[in-house]
Amino acid sequence: MGLFGSSKDKKKAEKPAGEITLGGTTYTISRTVDCIGDSCPRPQLMTKKALNEAAPGDVIEVLVDNPSSTEAIPPMMNDLGASHLETIKAERCWEIYVQKD
């Protein structure tokens, strides 16, 4: 099982990340979820999965290029025990930063 296995998808979807400064506070990004090229509901499901696996205080960066995901992910945070920190428009995508409560 090599050519079309899910290990490539997992590698693309999640990678460790660095730091980001939002509103004067520097956060360590514990995980990046790359949903570029994915349409709803995959970005929402991947964000939910990452938050379920996160420890309290972990910051997750979600990369999306689907405008509807930028509108759908922040309102989900209350139900997932998390907070939406900020959404930033980057060159080729939006970067959504969420933190597990």
Instruction: List the catalytic residue out of 36, 40, 72, 76.
Output: 40
Q: How far apart are CA 50 and CA 55, in angstroms?
A: 10
Is 35 catalytic? The answer is no
Handedness of CA 89, 92, 76, 24 (dihedral sign): negative
Strands (E), the chain: 14-15, 19-22, 25-34, 59-64, 82-89, 94-100
Catalytic residues: 40
